[in-house]
Structure 1
Amino acid sequence: MSAAKEGVFGIMDMYLNEFETSLESTGCNQEGHNDATWKMYLERRSIVLAFLRTNLSLHLLKCHQKRIELLKKSSFYIEILPKHLALGGQNHLMLPTAMFQLIDPWRFQRMKKVGTTQTKIQFLLLTDLLEQLERGREELVYYLETCDVVTFLSRWDLIKQRLSNLSELMDSFLDMLVPGKLYVKHRLVPDVRATKVPHIGLVLSTKMPVVFDRKESVAHEDWATLKWFSTSQQSQHEQYELCFRLLEHGMQKERGHCGILTVTSNTCKIQNLLCDRAYKFTIRRAETYSLVYEQWHDSITLKTETNPDQDMDSSLCEPEG
């Protein structure tokens, strides 16, 4: 959500607060309207206000925007499910990894491409749905702010339909946040083995991004300690790839000062670095056979400390003034 939109929504929230306060403090009906009309007006405006404060609040829209951004930084994988199991069941976690060996490799690679496409479409749909919800909020606030009693009541059927549409949009948005099944047109297991293996279904799953611990990751003279974490549940043998690269090149021999380390824990110590140099470190999960989408990797830049002995040597070599 852009800063401009946040500013607009902030003004809207201020207006809603002021308007709700004015409604509560109103002790008599508006001039020119009978009690029944005024009561109906207050009740229906209260419905819209309640909807804006619960289903379509600024805080909620901001949270949804952050969830989309987090999803775009996440890793997406294909998981195997027997089709007779519900998606919410946990039995699929017990399937042996050997199941992948029964699947036709070419067909599985094709399904990975489908999974990548489906993930990208999911992001586009989520962004579009969120924009529709934001526009819907603006529209409802416009009705509250500009319509008098007669106009508001005359448009109530339209407003009520808009509330219903926005509720459906929100439901669609929430459903879209969770990756779903992949449509399998053909059997993934070759016909030769099909008699012994049940029909296989595929589902997309996500793992939250791996990010560096900025407080615990530090550089020293010629070594650095890196630490990272993820909010996803980590498997016992999950592997990570830690890359490091020298950003400042001095002498020719420094140009190849980089590397990739495979790590099975969430911390690593890199030694034999150059003193007083800036390094860029990047962390990611090691690529697996079932990975279909991963576009973002966290990185951090650290500078090693100066070697005190080098400083002393350089000061001894300085010419006298």
Structure 2
Amino acid sequence: MENNDDPSKIQHHIRHILTKRLTPALLQTYNKKLELLRMCSFYIKVIQVDHSQYDHNCASSSTVMSLIDIQRFQRMKKLGNSQVKIQLALLEELLDSLSRGCEELQAILDRERLDEGAIKEGAIKEKIFKLLQEAAEFKDVLVPSRLHLKHHLISEVSSTRVPQIQLALSIRMPVRFDKTKCAASSDSIILHWDITEQEQHEPGEQFKICYKLFHPTTEAEGNLMAQIACASYCLRIDNLMPDRFYEFTVQRVDSWLSVYSLWIDAIILKTVSGTIGSSEENTEKN
């Protein structure tokens, strides 16, 4: 049988876990990482294995991509989408379990009087071990994993040797408006946006900017909306009406490698009646 333990010893063990291993600051960090991950874009990354053994022409990325069977690749994209959704759901479940577990330990710690035999060291250690396992699993799940191929993506090619490839999920940080740089005049708006945690602009990025009147007063005004493709990180939009609110959204242009991207950042700016001044209100969409 399991022996009852000294409550003070058990409390000391719990206090160590809550102040050194599973602190409120750590759980808050995990929560922020999960929130950021929900806003990220996920893509399939094609990795060639042991490309040195193949012909030079076959080893090039463009040639490898041209050999991939499109229908099979589309099925892998669906698998990648499902894997991302499972990953995010698992992270949410783990974080919720960690939060509840720490609250339960804190409740035990906060008891002014422990009934004799109410708490056993073995049960507490089992709970703590489970929480530490979940914390380790949370960190592992944060990193995108490989996609397992059930079938060859490259059809047999008689003229050359077929390279071996692997697929993995890659992450791109979310696109967000820079509210400190966005500005409005009486008939135009200047928009600036950046990639979260990206110090330098990534060449080749493509963005889609959409805008419309935020409070249209007529049906015709409600139909005033536009979409602009942009390869830079800023854009000036002219021919707007003065003293009106406009809603702008920015997002990446999906490529054929993208498998999951729900985040769209939005900002509401008001044109002014004169040529100087601006006001803004920021909103976010998922």
TM norm structure 2: 0.83
* Corresponding residue number in structure 2 for 1:164: 129
Note the C-alpha offset of 1:278.
1.3
Instruction: Say what the alpha-carbon RMSD is for the aligned residues.
Output: 2.6
Q: Which sections of structure 1, spanning at least 5 residues, go unmatched?
A: 1-36, 86-93, 309-321
Return the letter of the residue paired with 1:114: L
Report SS of the residue matched to 2:215: coil
Q: Distance in 1 between matches of 2:79 and 2:23?
A: 35
Change over 3 Å in CA distance of 1:223–1:101 after alignment to 2: same
Note the C-alpha offset of 1:131.
1.2
Change over 3 Å in CA distance of 1:95–1:66 after alignment to 2: farther
> Is structure 2 residue 284 aligned with structure 1 residue 303?
no
Return the letter of the residue paired with 2:81: T
> Is structure 2 residue 234 aligned with structure 1 residue 267?
yes
Note the C-alpha offset of 1:55.
2.2
* Corresponding residue number in structure 2 for 1:10: none
Name which of 151, 154, 169 aligns with 1:186. Answer: 151
* Corresponding residue number in structure 1 for 2:15: 49
* Corresponding residue number in structure 2 for 1:292: 259
Note the C-alpha offset of 1:179.
1.2
Q: Distance in 1 between matches of 2:204 and 2:106?
A: 52
- 2:156–2:162 contact (8 Å) kept in structure 1: no
Report SS of the residue matched to 1:242: strand
Deviations 1:142-164 (A, max 9, x none): 33233638547x60111112211
Note the C-alpha offset of 1:232.
4.8
- Mapping of residues 195-234 of structure 1, within 5 Å: 196-233=161-198, 234=201
Note the C-alpha offset of 1:235.
2.4
Aligned residues: 262
- 2:175–2:193 contact (8 Å) kept in structure 1: yes
- 1:41–1:149 contact (8 Å) kept in structure 2: no
* Corresponding residue number in structure 2 for 1:312: none
**Larger RCO, structure (CA 8 Å, separation 6 or more):** 2
> Is structure 2 residue 96 aligned with structure 1 residue 134?
no
- 1:207–1:232 contact (8 Å) kept in structure 2: no
- 2:185–2:274 contact (8 Å) kept in structure 1: no
> Is structure 2 residue 10 aligned with structure 1 residue 76?
no
Name which of 127, 140, 143 aligns with 2:108. Answer: 143
> Is structure 2 residue 25 aligned with structure 1 residue 59?
yes
* Corresponding residue number in structure 1 for 2:212: 245
Return the letter of the residue paired with 1:141: Q
Report SS of the residue matched to 1:282: strand
> Is structure 2 residue 69 aligned with structure 1 residue 104?
yes
Bigger radius of gyration: 1
* Corresponding residue number in structure 2 for 1:88: none
Report SS of the residue matched to 1:245: strand
- 2:7–2:114 contact (8 Å) kept in structure 1: no
Q: Which sections of structure 2, spanning at least 5 residues, go unmatched?
A: 52-58, 276-286
Give the strand-richer structure, 1 or 2.
2
Structure 1 range deviating more: 225-234 or 212-221: 225-234
- 2:207–2:231 contact (8 Å) kept in structure 1: yes
